Copies of this chain bind each other. A is one copy, B any other.
Amino acid sequence: MKPLNIGMVGYGFMGRTHSNGYSQANHFFPCEYKPVLKAVCARNKDKAQAFADTWGYESVETDWRELLKRDDIDAIDVCTPNNLHKEISIAAAEAGKMVLCEKPLAMNQTDGEAMCQAVEKAGVKNMVWYNYRRVPAVTLAKQLIDEGRLGQIFHYRANFLQDWTINADVPQGGAATWRLDAEAAGSGVTGDLLAHCIDTALWLNGQIKDVSAMTETFVKERMHSETGKKEPVKIDDACSFLCHFDNGSLGLFESTRYARGHKALYTFEINGENASIRWDLHDLHRLEYFDHNDDSIVRGWRSVHVSDGDQPYMGNWWVPGLNIGYEHTFIHQVADFLKSLETGEQMHPSFRDALETQKVCDAVLDSAAQRVWKEV
């Protein structure tokens, strides 16, 4: 068993999902490498220590620059708000550490490009936590597409719908709500939610050529946790866009935090000449599949309960019919990363992969601001 010594920066929601991934991967996926939780780093020492106690981190740091200096750390996991991804990732690469960065990669394409160059120049392993690629049903979708079952693709549509910011009393800024603060988050739903939809789309359906987008900020001012005053809201509450893919298919994407009744409804549907696929995160263990080759009188959407041993990742879990959940996507990503260390193959999504998503996000925001079609 070879150790992979982890130093994590941040300890929020994503800090928990990643820590769980490190703890669980080797219980289910036999790997030569095994993560060792060496240190967690955060400005508030008490909170960092409490987190370390819960998850079994061996030590805490309060300055990420100190963490980077430590010889006993192999990989830096960047779980901070978006505005810190660039600086920490580049410094980590320069320190020769592997870099595992939360999504979105960067605040914008320029920053993202600099981050790619840094990891590539340093030759360090890198990946971005676009975890939804590793929902078994989504991985199965990729497999079906790669097998050519869909034929020519006509349509790709995706959305990511939430409703948690309808209440105008939700503040912006601070630990729980930095995603509403443009300073920390860069953008609103575009970088937070649509970025997931775009990453999956590029993976499943190839490059996007051009976009026409529309954004909206429904609540114009919110109390800022740091200033204690009402401040203008500068992020996008909702964003939708039309697009063309390189393969000739049409795309339709939407994201919002104002869709009453949806907690975290990420869905996509792909319509091909011969078959169609759809999936949604609220029932993430099911893949809906329509095969036009089925005998016509009994043709219909199949609700595939993805829990069998021959379906992606599921052979390592329980028995048919028994579901796994959200957190397992991170366990899979850790396991796949560990395997990439064994095989020496490039892990995906890499920084470079994530930069493609960043480009689309930038084009979307530009298109919305200027009310014109934008090439990606």
**Complex Cα spacing A83 to B154, Å:** 29
Where chain A touches its partner, the secondary structure class is: mixed
Please determine whether B240 and A318 come into contact, CB atoms closer than 8 angstroms: no
Please determine whether A321 and B281 come into contact, CB atoms closer than 8 angstroms: yes
Question: Which of A's residues lie within 8 Å of B, judged by CB?
Answer: 13, 16-17, 19-20, 23-24, 26-27, 30, 54-55, 140, 143-144, 154-155, 157, 161-164, 166, 212-214, 216, 218, 238, 240-242, 244, 248, 250, 252, 254, 256, 258-265, 271-276, 281-287, 289-292, 294, 296-305, 307-308, 310-311, 317-328, 371-373
Q: Could you show 23 A-B contacts with beta carbons less than 8 Å apart? A: A13-B318, A13-B319, A19-B27, A26-B54, A154-B218, A154-B259, A155-B258, A162-B321, A163-B271, A241-B242, A259-B271, A261-B290, A263-B308, A263-B322, A264-B319, A281-B321, A282-B323, A283-B286, A284-B323, A287-B300, A297-B308, A300-B302, A323-B325
Residue in B258, B289, B290, B298 whose CB lies within 8 Å of A291? B298
Tell me the smallest distance from the CB of A97 to a CB of chain B, in Å: 25
Given contacts A166-B273, A242-B242, A289-B300, contact A321 B260 (CB under 8 A): no
**Complex Cα spacing A13 to B320, Å:** 12
Chain B residues near A264: list those with CB within 8 A.
319-322
Given contacts A297-B140, A299-B304, A323-B323, contact A157 B289 (CB under 8 A): no
Q: What are the nearest 9 A-B pairs in CB distance?
A: A264-B321, A263-B321, A261-B290, A300-B304, A300-B302, A322-B326, A325-B325, A154-B258, A323-B325
Tell me the smallest distance from the CB of A40 to a CB of chain B, in Å: 14
Closest B residue to A266 using CB positions? B321
Closest B residue to A307 using CB positions? B263
Chain B residues near A372: list those with CB within 8 A.
372
Please determine whether A298 and B304 come into contact, CB atoms closer than 8 angstroms: yes
Chain B residues near A241: list those with CB within 8 A.
242
Please determine whether A265 and B328 come into contact, CB atoms closer than 8 angstroms: no
Residue in B16, B23, B155, B244 whose CB lies within 8 Å of A259? B155
Tell me the smallest distance from the CB of A365 to a CB of chain B, in Å: 15
**Complex Cα spacing A275 to B26, Å:** 38
Tell me the smallest distance from the CB of A296 to a CB of chain B, in Å: 6
**Complex Cα spacing A321 to B260, Å:** 13
Please determine whether B304 and A303 come into contact, CB atoms closer than 8 angstroms: no
